[in-house]
Structure 1
């Protein structure tokens, strides 16, 4: 206790918000282990007799008016659960496949799996009441009995030796789906699994009878019933009179009964699967997994899914083996009054508090944060933009709990679970051993096992939070692939978007340096550092769910900017210079400003093109136009995306055709010009006078052109009608390229693979590309073989073949781009790049980097051993 109460600083990092553990992890482990041992000593000294086994059955809450009032909710709960189950199936098959816009993932993985486990353990087992499979089968059996005069079920004799092994196998499959299956949150996959499970459950109930199969083979009846043994209530649905019994916590976990071997295996699988969930998320597992796959690559093709499947079963068997070995020791120290098998089966249920503690530690924060999505999803279960109950606009509060709460809750849950298990195991020992000395002796090995469990579980839980110890204040101690981020670099705040100084001691995995040639916008304003940084602010402000305000989040922006927010580690505008790119025409100097920007990311270094994807430091829109659009969306005049506009019942934001919006924008720009308005996040970068010039320029642009579509592109919208638009070239010498340089964007050309020739363990691809015949303002595209194009023309439009190779398991094993070879074809040699086997290559010819509407060829490949 002294260790736990003392406070000293320790280096650590958190998730969401930063949180430093007040103690090093080693002290937490030793303190928690000491607490478990101390609880054993206290229980051994003061608990000298077991409480009466059946004292809990004396109080039936249904004998009292409040209890009878609760019974009235039985039928509505049953029907509500059935409706939700049907809605989940329909949403999975027919709804939006985005997990955050579909009812199925939240209902199954959060509300049902996590939430009902807590209700069962802390309140009571309501699953028999709301079980949709039981509801459907009972209804069908009632109708069948009324029509045919006999039961629907065949009532075959259930093999006693089978125990609950069907539920064990189903729990293993369920855990595999949750922890190993690559796409467990895809709604259609969830619905398919649920439909298959429904068929299996109803088949079992038809063969052996409803109650028999529910007790032995219906997974969730067994899971929630097992957790409910800890609860202070017990619900008995036996006819003719149901009972709602009040009892002490944990009474259902003790008694003289010996559970079946299958139930013992089930309890250990519950323990191991939850802990395995934490294990596979640790850096140590990732390193070990990569090393094993690499080591075995020459012997067997072992992927991540296969390795994690083996690990799931192996972890379960490891827990079983450890518990069995402890049972052998317990049998030995108690003079073999009971065999090791009898000991194992007798004390298995006392491990349930530990399983619940692990469950709370791993999933409680997940439940509190992600579980909030059920509120909007109940109004819009299919993601169609409905608002059935008026809750579709609810935005979950992701800051409801923080890293501090997560860590202390996890520690408390694990510790209290083990202490409760120590107490219940001692009570169980007092009931089965006549001599108190033998009861105490039996608990020493079991307590030692619980101490090991405590240390393992807390170590795994701490992985996302606690850093490994390293030499202090020495950058060289950081891994070789880490890059120090300058202390004056900035990063947008998750909630407000304001640029926050990162400070010293931060590192990234990749550093990109951009030299960006600034250019004028269509309204005549000049690009500044504020225009480069504000798109990042915009991404964080509108792509992050904040404090629940409806008008400051858009799912489409969230999706589009997720790579930026996931991988961005820091930004730094180094400065600008005008000497190198400025030109002089006659007596006039045309200044071209070059900005140097450093972007730091958390993505592993691969190639400059790949690393640049999540963090381009520019936007086609000036900051003042983005601010104007934000004001419109914040005021609920319009929405950024069509989906959000439909959901909120407002216009889809249009800077050109909406006369009503343009009138509002015009008034707003005049107001902003008078006030010199600029957003709070840009005040360190933009002064009042600069802001007034921006708004004045935008207002003048609108008066001259009749719209607000200001960009820095080479074409400017001149006029438009219902079915056409006229673009005029925007000429400005601040632009980096000369006249005609943008034709490749206005008229993107494509390539086509025309021939595939197999070579020794490789292929040769030939193709055509589109060429442009121009005459004044007219042009015509024609396909020309690559072999007929002169070399000097090819240099101006370098074609390349982009390709991806997948194996027979649909996994990408090779990808890249190949330049055009000397024979005007693309050569690929896979012999030294791929193992022996059959593959499929997907290839397309890209011209000037254009892959829009690409012509992709699928090519079979065989790599032989010769």
Structure 2
């Protein structure tokens, strides 16, 4: 797919003379650029435009309108919210007990889905479109469950197969071998999350490879549960549960698992206002690395959106590669192969550094908030408090980039249920159902993306302001302390919309 000046169209054609001339102006030899374009021809995962579409108004209009919406939210919050409007402890609604059978059935369902994914990948066909495990994991789990969590709460605490396996390990091992140090924080979760995103973007897994990755991840959870205890290890290393727990703070439903005096788990649920979970007492993040994980939720989605664009390709092939060419020239016809290998390293380093760029900007904003508000709390403490306000942005980034994929592919689960291994079975009579991919109207897609990006940032501005009112006794100090955070939200809004509007190479 090629997108130029807001126009999106399929690009399965040779490069013509005019494009040779344009590529020449980029100071890249046309043959190299053509090969680079071929290298980039992978399925688009973020923008997902498959038909011609021109933005109805210039991008700048959308960007400035979004900035104006954030500014209006900030001003209205400053005018009408006071310290009494943001009590330190919200009144908690009544909790309703859930039958224990829900936990048992949910745990069995979660473990069963994990086993199905692994077995289908190991013993089924290796065509991704015909093997259930690829659609079940990438569409049902990675895409659908986060959106369900935002609506129905953290149901993953019931379904989590790795938590169930960890509880089994705890019953077999009476006590952990060693206590996990507090300084470890959520570093294991961050490193595993980083590995997962790398696999998602660059590994080009087939069903068997996905099964091996799931087995490896499960083995890490089991080994850590034996060494440190399941509860401590899953809280610090199982990044899926960390991600879903943060997203669930948006939901009007709050799930909780406790234990009765005899040690048996009890499940309860309570109702609350949407996004109230972000403001509840104790919602602050536990460590700096927890903030880093949220920043990586932001940066990984942004990177996924930008790394297949013409802008990103030109950075390397037009700005970096010409300087590398004399250094890697061998004269043996392998120069382009070396250039592409270096490009892969460039991609990996950019992904690795992306969360540190985001958290660096966030820490600068927190430091300025500290100076303006004249609080005794340190910058890192403020980051753990205000870090929770980034959750709505992380969620809408995920939604705006990937909901089109969910709509396009979710129907395939119905078809693959009858033939999970791709052997031509028709167990439930649904093998011929599901139809093809669902293609959405591009105007509706773009407008939905813009609306979701703006809505998420508006919520974040509001949450950050309420949190500031709790910290600062003077409402005036609270308002002015949030100016750096407002600027940061404006930058994130502009960046999110800009990435979605960039021309694609695939």
Shared fold (TM-score greater than 0.5)? yes
Asked whether 1:168 is paired with 2:190, we answer: yes
- Cα 1:233–1:56, aligned 2, differ >3 Å: closer, same or farther? farther
Asked if structure 2 preserves the Cα contact closer than 8 Å seen for 1:154 and 1:208, the reply is yes
- Cα 1:218–1:246, aligned 2, differ >3 Å: closer, same or farther? same
Offset of 1:123 from its aligned partner? 1.7
Offset of 1:258 from its aligned partner? 5.5
- Cα 1:375–1:268, aligned 2, differ >3 Å: closer, same or farther? same
Asked whether 1:35 is paired with 2:69, we answer: yes
- Aligned mates of 2:71, 2:481 — CA distance in 1: 14
- Residues 85-122 of structure 1 show CA distances to partners (whole Å, capped at 9, x for unaligned) of 11111111111111100112212211111111112222
- Cα 1:431–1:258, aligned 2, differ >3 Å: closer, same or farther? farther
Partner of 2:122: 93
Partner of 2:309: 282
Asked whether 1:124 is paired with 2:153, we answer: yes
Offset of 1:464 from its aligned partner? 4.5
- Give 1 or 2: higher strand fraction: 1
Partner of 1:416: 455
Secondary structure, counterpart of 1:58 in structure 2: coil
Offset of 1:53 from its aligned partner? 4.8
- Cα 1:223–1:391, aligned 2, differ >3 Å: closer, same or farther? same
Partner of 1:45: 79
Asked whether 1:314 is paired with 2:343, we answer: no
Aligned pairs for 1:557-576 within 5 A: none
Instruction: Using the TM superposition, name which of 109-118 and 242-251 deviates more.
Output: 242-251
Among residues 334, 337, 359, which one is paired with 2:398 in the alignment?
359
Partner of 1:368: 407
- Aligned mates of 2:222, 2:88 — CA distance in 1: 36
- Aligned mates of 1:445, 1:187 — CA distance in 2: 46
- Aligned mates of 1:331, 1:135 — CA distance in 2: 42
Partner of 1:106: 135
Offset of 1:332 from its aligned partner? 1.4
Among residues 250, 253, 256, which one is paired with 1:233 in the alignment?
253
- Cα 1:419–1:266, aligned 2, differ >3 Å: closer, same or farther? same
Offset of 1:293 from its aligned partner? 3.7
- Cα 1:199–1:56, aligned 2, differ >3 Å: closer, same or farther? farther
Offset of 1:463 from its aligned partner? 2.0
Offset of 1:436 from its aligned partner? 0.6
Secondary structure, counterpart of 1:449 in structure 2: helix
- Residues 685-724 of structure 1 show CA distances to partners (whole Å, capped at 9, x for unaligned) of xxxxxxxxxxxxxxxxxxxxxxxxxxxxxxxxxxxxxxxx
Offset of 1:339 from its aligned partner? 2.5
- Residues 609-628 of structure 1 show CA distances to partners (whole Å, capped at 9, x for unaligned) of xxxxxxxxxxxxxxxxxxxx
Asked if structure 2 preserves the Cα contact closer than 8 Å seen for 1:152 and 1:206, the reply is no
Q: In the comparison of the two structures, how many residue pairs are matched?
A: 443
- Aligned mates of 1:426, 1:329 — CA distance in 2: 15
- Aligned mates of 1:335, 1:317 — CA distance in 2: 26
TM-score, with structure 2 as normaliser:
0.82
- Cα 1:171–1:22, aligned 2, differ >3 Å: closer, same or farther? same
Asked if structure 2 preserves the Cα contact closer than 8 Å seen for 1:56 and 1:246, the reply is no
Partner of 1:331: 370
Unaligned runs of 5+ in 2: 10-48, 261-265, 329-337
- Aligned mates of 2:299, 2:117 — CA distance in 1: 29
Partner of 1:385: 424
- Cα 1:170–1:385, aligned 2, differ >3 Å: closer, same or farther? same
Partner of 1:592: none
Offset of 1:438 from its aligned partner? 1.2
Partner of 1:345: 384
Among residues 113, 129, 133, which one is paired with 2:162 in the alignment?
133
- Aligned mates of 1:381, 1:73 — CA distance in 2: 26
Asked if structure 2 preserves the Cα contact closer than 8 Å seen for 1:259 and 1:346, the reply is no
Secondary structure, counterpart of 2:154 in structure 1: coil
Asked if structure 2 preserves the Cα contact closer than 8 Å seen for 1:153 and 1:210, the reply is no
Asked if structure 2 preserves the Cα contact closer than 8 Å seen for 1:418 and 1:450, the reply is yes
- Aligned mates of 2:210, 2:222 — CA distance in 1: 18
Asked if structure 2 preserves the Cα contact closer than 8 Å seen for 1:369 and 1:396, the reply is no
Offset of 1:316 from its aligned partner? 1.8
- Cα 1:299–1:338, aligned 2, differ >3 Å: closer, same or farther? farther
Asked whether 1:242 is paired with 2:267, we answer: yes
Among residues 420, 424, 444, which one is paired with 1:405 in the alignment?
444
Offset of 1:55 from its aligned partner? 3.5
- Cα 1:244–1:288, aligned 2, differ >3 Å: closer, same or farther? same
Asked if structure 2 preserves the Cα contact closer than 8 Å seen for 1:56 and 1:245, the reply is no
Secondary structure, counterpart of 2:292 in structure 1: helix
Partner of 1:253: 278
Partner of 1:58: 93
Secondary structure, counterpart of 1:245 in structure 2: strand
Asked if structure 2 preserves the Cα contact closer than 8 Å seen for 1:103 and 1:382, the reply is yes
Which one has a bigger Cα radius of gyration?
1
Offset of 1:297 from its aligned partner? 4.0
Offset of 1:249 from its aligned partner? 2.2
- Cα 1:371–1:348, aligned 2, differ >3 Å: closer, same or farther? same
- Cα 1:441–1:198, aligned 2, differ >3 Å: closer, same or farther? same
Asked if structure 1 preserves the Cα contact closer than 8 Å seen for 2:169 and 2:226, the reply is no
Aligned pairs for 1:166-245 within 5 A: 166-181=188-203, 183-184=204-205, 186-240=206-260, 241-245=266-270
Q: Which structure has the higher relative contact order (CA within 8 Å, separation 6+)?
A: 2
Partner of 2:57: 23
- Cα 1:177–1:258, aligned 2, differ >3 Å: closer, same or farther? closer
- Residues 132-160 of structure 1 show CA distances to partners (whole Å, capped at 9, x for unaligned) of 12223434554x4xxxxxx4452531211
TM-score, with structure 1 as normaliser:
0.49
- Aligned mates of 2:7, 2:325 — CA distance in 1: 36
- Aligned mates of 1:11, 1:174 — CA distance in 2: 32
- Give 1 or 2: higher helix fraction: 2
- Residues 35-69 of structure 1 show CA distances to partners (whole Å, capped at 9, x for unaligned) of 1111111121122234445445332133xxxx65x
Secondary structure, counterpart of 1:274 in structure 2: helix
Asked whether 1:157 is paired with 2:179, we answer: yes
- Aligned mates of 1:464, 1:108 — CA distance in 2: 29
- Cα 1:36–1:108, aligned 2, differ >3 Å: closer, same or farther? same
- Aligned mates of 1:40, 1:437 — CA distance in 2: 13
Offset of 1:381 from its aligned partner? 1.1
Asked if structure 1 preserves the Cα contact closer than 8 Å seen for 2:126 and 2:207, the reply is yes
